Amino acid sequence: MPQTITKHVKQMVAEANEVVTRVSVDEVRAMLDSDDYVIVDIRDPRELKREGKIPGAFSCPRGMLEFWIDSESPYHKDVFNQDKTYVFYCASAWRSALSTRMAQEMGLSPVAHLDGGFSAWKAAGAPIEEVG
């Protein structure tokens, strides 16, 4: 018997975007020179190697996000224990919308995500750092 999915990804992303902050490419560009922000790339390593990343962004694969945020997790990363604003992004702002909502629900604050994701970043001609 096939599964009946009652909540679809598009609905989940739309619901996340109702409760999280979205920031534009121009807003993120202005953040790059400030120590008040941590830009977090949640794409997988293959995407990073293939397309590059926002300069200075911290790489956190989506599957590890909750574990790296949680200070009680054996996988916790200190980068998530700072008094800074966290801005998440992925390829097209779907994973980052869900990630931002989850981070917000976990208590990480303030958090936001890049509207349009890395696709919007590239389309705007914003700088890209190569990943080796």
Structural domains of the chain, with CATH: 32-123 (3.40.250.10)
Instruction: Give the whole-angstrom CA distance, residue 100 versus residue 106.
Output: 10
The reported pLDDT for the residue numbered 55 is 98
Report pTM: 0.95
Q: Strand, helix or coil at 60?
A: coil
What six digits make up the tokens of 55?
A: 């300069």
The reported pLDDT for the residue numbered 16 is 98
Query: At residue 111, what are phi and psi to the nearest 5 degrees?
Result: -135, 155
Instruction: Give the whole-angstrom CA distance, residue 20 versus residue 122.
Output: 23
Strands 111-114 and 85-89: parallel
The list of the chain residues with pLDDT below 70 reads none
Alpha-helix runs per DSSP H in the chain: 9-19, 25-31, 45-51, 65-69, 95-106, 117-123
In tens, the pLDDT along 31-69 reads 999 999 999 999 999 999 999 999 999 999 999 999 999
Smallest CA-to-CA distance from 14 within 91, 90, 98 is with 98
Half-sphere exposure of 4 (CA within 13 A, CB side): 2
The reported pLDDT for the residue numbered 129 is 97
The reported pLDDT for the residue numbered 132 is 82
Strands 37-41 and 85-89: parallel
> Cα-Cα-Cα-Cα dihedral of 99, 49, 58, 110, to 10°?
-30
Instruction: Give the whole-angstrom CA distance, residue 105 versus residue 103.
Output: 5
